[in-house]
């Protein structure tokens, strides 16, 4: 979508003119009939509320759109909600050019960037494989023209656009089918998108991981024809020699459950079991695009979990890169096996200041929190508070859960150092306790269980049904407030 800026208060010719209403009423300069129509329709400038009419403008009838952006107590950005509402209404249906009157609301550059962020995020579509769309279903909106743009608007939007690009990339990875996105092609797409940004990419293949003793990650992969990969993306934008913050993503590009196979109904959803890795990849793209002043590393453990004659069996014992052994009682509890080796690799190769992992790890998290928050586990209170704040600021909300030895003992195995699952109760907590066993030297670490958050069954404020891009804005906000401050 093309976005242009003009300091002129006079809007150019467009199919529709959007007027942002951030105060309590419509501008006094409007025709009284328009004001009366809005009043009759009971239009209120609540965030995202729209009223549409037709009125003469510059000698011709114009589609006028009033969209609310009045601040509300629980709205992080009413302007973002306004932009998202415009995209939801006019993305399809014939409107090709939309003019936005930024001057009417006395809008700042930051508020305008928020409006365009909401608009472009809500406009994201993935129609690559849809060949029989009706005309009214096809995207028509091609250009947004901002008139009366305040000083600094283009600079503010340039930075915000990097974040939008990162979220969009995550949605793309999560949405693609598993015959298109698998470990090797995930890596290829990341290399392609990060090319020219200044980010450095390293890839470990199965032979290299086998030499390092990564028996847990490779154990998950051994039932698939698709080879596993460990993807490492480095952005060195901070002080030379400063320890990096490392984000680790679970990247199970399709999860059949392995020998502990999942029920057929709903198994198609498991293409997005790489949502944690997708979030890390999208965040690294956003950070590189906006030239973040921080040293950040993104690591993705990429596997496909499939059942065949070589697949892990329930009761197999595997040896992790850390040297600890694991009795695998359920091959569908595979994400923690992928992450534990990735976490060990990070600690031995990156000298991290802190580690945050993101994973669509447990269905128990959906039972606990529904679809409103991701789960947060941490061995460090400061890190937990920083992530919680980043979640509030970004809109990618988190809720903290406990870690304690009482839960840890539920993973004890009679034959190995640990089991990969505990009992049914506290399933998300025991998964986090498992991962904590691989954190060395009290390195600050947090685990984000985002099983409910990466895919939506109904539209949200800034996304349609499907991939949400959850995690990218959270990471970006955290890096801004903690790593760049």
SS3 call for 195: coil
Contact (CB, 8 A) for 454 and 365? no
Measured distance CA(474)–CA(110) in Å, rounded = 18
**Nearest alpha carbon to residue 146 among 91, 100, 90:** 100
Taking each helix axis from N to C end, the angle separating 153-175 and 275-289, rounded to the nearest 10 degrees, works out to: 160
Contact (CB, 8 A) for 413 and 419? yes
Query: Would you please indicate which residues are annotated as catalytic (active-site) residues?
Result: 262, 336
Contact (CB, 8 A) for 72 and 78? yes
How much is the CA Rg of the chain, to the nearest whole Å? 24
Sheet holding 398-400, edge to edge: 200-204, 229-236, 295-305, 245-255, 354-359, 445-449, 374-378, 398-400
**Nearest alpha carbon to residue 335 among 275, 267, 425:** 275
Measured distance CA(327)–CA(324) in Å, rounded = 10
């Amino acid at each position: 979508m093309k976005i242009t800026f003009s300091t002129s208060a006079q809007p150019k010719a467009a199919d529709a003119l959007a007027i942002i209403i951030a105060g309590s009423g419509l501008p006094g300069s409007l025709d009284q009939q328009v004001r009366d129509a809005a009043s009759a329709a009971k239009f209120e400038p609540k965030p995202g509320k729209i009223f549409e009419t037709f009125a003469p403008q510059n000698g011709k009838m114009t589609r006028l759109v009033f969209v609310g952006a009045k601040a509300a107590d629980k709205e992080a950005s009413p302007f973002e909600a306004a932009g998202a509402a415009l995209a939801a209404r006019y993305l399809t249906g014939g409107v090709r050019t939309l003019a936005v009157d930024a001057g009417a609301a006395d809008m700042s550059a930051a508020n305008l960037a928020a409006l365009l962020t909401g608009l472009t995020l809500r406009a994201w579509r993935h129609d690559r494989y849809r060949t029989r769309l009706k005309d009214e279903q096809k995207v028509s909106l091609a250009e947004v023209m901002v008139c009366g743009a305040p000083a600094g608007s283009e600079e503010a939007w340039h930075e915000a656009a990097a974040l939008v690009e990162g979220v969009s990339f995550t949605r793309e990875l999560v949405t693609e089918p598993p015959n298109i996105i698998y470990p090797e092609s995930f890596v290829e797409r990341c290399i392609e998108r990060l090319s020219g940004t200044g980010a450095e990419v390293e890839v470990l293949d199965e032979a290299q991981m086998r030499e390092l003793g990564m028996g847990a990650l490779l154990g998950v992969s051994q039932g698939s024809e698709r080879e596993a990969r460990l993807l490492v993306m480095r952005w060195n934008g901070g002080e030379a020699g400063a320890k990096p913050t490392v984000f680790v993503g679970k990247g199970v590009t399709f999860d059949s459950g392995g020998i502990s196979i999942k029920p057929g109904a709903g198994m198609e959803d498991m293409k997005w079991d790489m949502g944690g890795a997708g979030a890390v990849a999208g965040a690294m793209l956003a950070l590189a695009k906006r030239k973040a002043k921080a040293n950040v590393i993104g690591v993705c453990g990429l596997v496909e979990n499939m059942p065949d004659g070589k697949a892990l069996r329930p009761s197999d014992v595997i040896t992790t890169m850390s040297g600890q052994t694991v009795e695998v009682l359920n091959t569908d509890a595979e994400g923690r096996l992928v992450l534990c080796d990735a976490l060990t690799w990070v600690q031995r190769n990156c000298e991290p200041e802190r580690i945050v992992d993101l994973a669509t790890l447990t269905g128990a998290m959906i039972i606990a929190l529904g679809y409103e928050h991701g789960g947060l586990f941490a061995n460090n209170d400061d890190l937990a508070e920083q992530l919680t704040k980043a979640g509030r600021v970004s809109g990618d909300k988190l809720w903290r859960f406990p870690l304690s030895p009482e839960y840890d003992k539920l993973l004890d195995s009679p034959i190995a150092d640990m089991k990969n699952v505990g009992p049914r109760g506290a399933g998300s907590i025991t998964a986090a306790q498992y991962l904590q066993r691989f954190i060395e030297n009290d390195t600050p670490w947090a685990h984000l269980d985002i099983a409910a958050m990466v895919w939506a069954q109904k539209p949200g404020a800034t996304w349609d049904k499907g991939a949400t891009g959850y995690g990218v804005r959270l990471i970006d906000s955290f890096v801004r407030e903690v790593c760049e401050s």
